[in-house]
Structure formats: structure tokens, C-alpha cells
Amino acid sequence: MDVLRPPLININGRIYRRNIIKEEHYEEEEEFSYMGPPDDEELGEDETCDTHLIEQSDKGYRCAIDVPSVLYKYIIGKKGETRKRLEFDTKTSINIPKQGVEGQIVITGSTKTAVSSAVTRVELLVENFRRKQPFTHFLSFPLNDSKIQEGFLRFKDEVLKQCSQDHGVEESIFQNPAKLHLTIGTLALLNEMEVRKACEHLQECQNFISDIIEGKPLPLEVTGIEYMNDDPAMVDVLYAKVNVRDGSDKLQVIADRLVEHFVSAGLMVQEWDRVKLHGTVMNTLFRKDSTVEDTGAAGRQTVNEREAFDAKNILKKFGAYCFGEIELNTVQLSQRYSTDCTGYYSSAGSISFS
């Protein structure tokens, strides 16, 4: 890192320097220096610090913030060093619940400025390490209709009959037909409160989805296959193309609006300008590892351990293959590494289109 040009991060309109420090306990811990804290006069009594309420008490000021228990250790640090440093720098006291006990972190201090500064620094730590947590849930459009599953199984059988001699093509890399879906975006929901919050936000999306499709199921056709990388002879992911039957972009608009809503709520990180809608049918991450999900996670395998397959013949013979049609009628908040009674992912929440 160029010390004269440190990377900056903008959170709620405030600019912070991102300083990288090394510690034995963590692979890499990031420390943030706030450039320009608010003065006491900028904060009135019982006013909020961004999204948190700072209250006046007999002993000064206090602020309680919700933090998932799995993130406590990053605020405490090795032998409590991170918390001690925060308390010393901001002249506050930071009370953290016991590890594994969900609750609020309470910050107290003699001035609003001190409490505000401590809250901001805790938020920065939480946001930084939250981004490093594996995702637990994802928004999905289920494609596991019985007709689509039948079409997929025919595709699988024909590919294995006609292309099994091609490098890397084997049964283990095919998707589980009961879990065919489109991934809209992934979320790291670290406790039950966050899951409930995500479900509430999903319900809030009902109105704009109804406006887009006028309260009716969305007719889709699953036709054609495409691959992710540039070389058809070295493919890791082969996916089915999904389009609205009337040729409109309604499905894309819904997906993009869902991501926009969850990003604005702080529950999702936007990775692309538009959602890449694709229904995975073959993925080398599945090879010899049934625990791997097809939602972007690598499971126990690393990218370097993946064995690509030659998809040239598959693309030539099945490029326009029709898997079938479906009346899409739901979007689900699906739980990773789970299965419901139908074989699909367990749902933490959902909304219906009609």
C-alpha cells in the first residue's frame, strides 16, 4: 500500500482511511481512521449517530448497537487488544455480550463525540469482517418444475450418451434436477434477527413485482445453453438460458430491482451492474464433492483444483436444446446447504407473483 495514498472508504457520506495491519491472531485485520469526527454541538440530545440513537444518561452518553455474536471476536481482538485500543482512542467503554450470546454492544462515554466516534469505528470493523463471512442464504427463482426437471434429465442422458468420451464430461458434474434455479444474489445473514429482517425486506418487494407483471405468473422458456469462460474446450460452468416468453425484459428488471432493494438495505453487496441470470446445468465444482452448492461457493475445492471439461461437442449438438417452459410464480430466500421435502433448498421466506 502507498502510505501517501492510502485507500479510502465512504460510509454514510463520511470518508475513512483504510490502514492494513498485521496481527498473529488474524490473517489480516483492517484498522480504520476516521477523518473528521462530528463535534458535540453537531449532535443534539438523544440524536442519532447515522442509524444509531445516542442517549444521554446520568453518567454521560450511551449507544446500543446490534452486532451478530459471530463478529464479537473481531471487535474484541487478540487478548482484548482491539477493544482496548478502541476504548483508549475514543475514551469510551465498550460492553460486549459473552461469545455466542446474541445481544447488543453498549458503548458509553462522557461526550457524544466520543460515543459517536466509537460507534463509527465498531461499525467499520463489523462491516469489514461481515464481508469476509461465507454467505448463508440467497435469493432464487426456482426452476425445479416437473417439466423442466424431465427436460433436464433427458439432456443429461443424451449428453452422457453422445459426449462422455470428451475430456472431463461425467455424471458427477451435472446439477441436481430438484435444485435447478436462478440465483439473484447472495446474503450473509448471521443470526435469526437478520434472517427476519431479510424476510421483511423481501415482502416489501411484493408491490413493485406486482406492478411489473400485473399480479400474474411470469411465463418463461428455458432454451439453449451457454458457457461462462472464453474457451469452449476448457469449461467449468455450463448453463441454460432463460427468457420471458413474450421477449420482454421483465425477469431481468425484477432481478435487478430485488438486488437494488437488498443492497440499499445493507443486506447484500452489489457485484455487477446487472444480475447474470443463468440456470446452471453442469459445474465442475460438483465433481466428486456433493456438498458443493451451485450458487457461487467453492466448497472444499479451490479454483485451482477444478478440472475443466471440453464442451465443444455439447454446445454443437445441444446448443439450442429446449428444457421446457415454466410459469414462474415465486422468489425465495433460500438457505444454503439445505433441502426441503421437494428436494429444493429450504425457504426462509418467499413472495408469490399472483
For the CA atoms of 123, 125, 129, 130, the dihedral, rounded to the nearest 10 degrees, stands at 0
What pTM was estimated for this model as a whole?
Answer: 0.79
Helix (H, G, I), strand (E, B) or coil at 290: coil
Please state the rounded mean pLDDT for residues 329-345: 96
- Mean pLDDT of the residues in the chain: 86
H or E element in which residue 73 lies: helix 72-76
Q: What is the pLDDT of residues 197-241, one digit of tens each?
A: 999 999 999 999 999 999 899 999 999 999 988 899 999 999 999
Pair 129, 114: CB distance under 8 Å? no
Mean pLDDT value across residues 159-181: 97
| Weakest mean pLDDT among 11-20, 78-87, 127-136, 145-154 | 11-20
Q: How many helices and strands in the chain, by DSSP H and E?
A: 8, 17
212 is written with which cell numbers? 411489473
Task: State residue 272's pLDDT score.
Answer: 84
Amino acid at 239: Y
**Cα distance between residue 252 and residue 277, in whole Å:** 7
Alpha carbons 159 and 153: distance in angstroms, whole number: 10
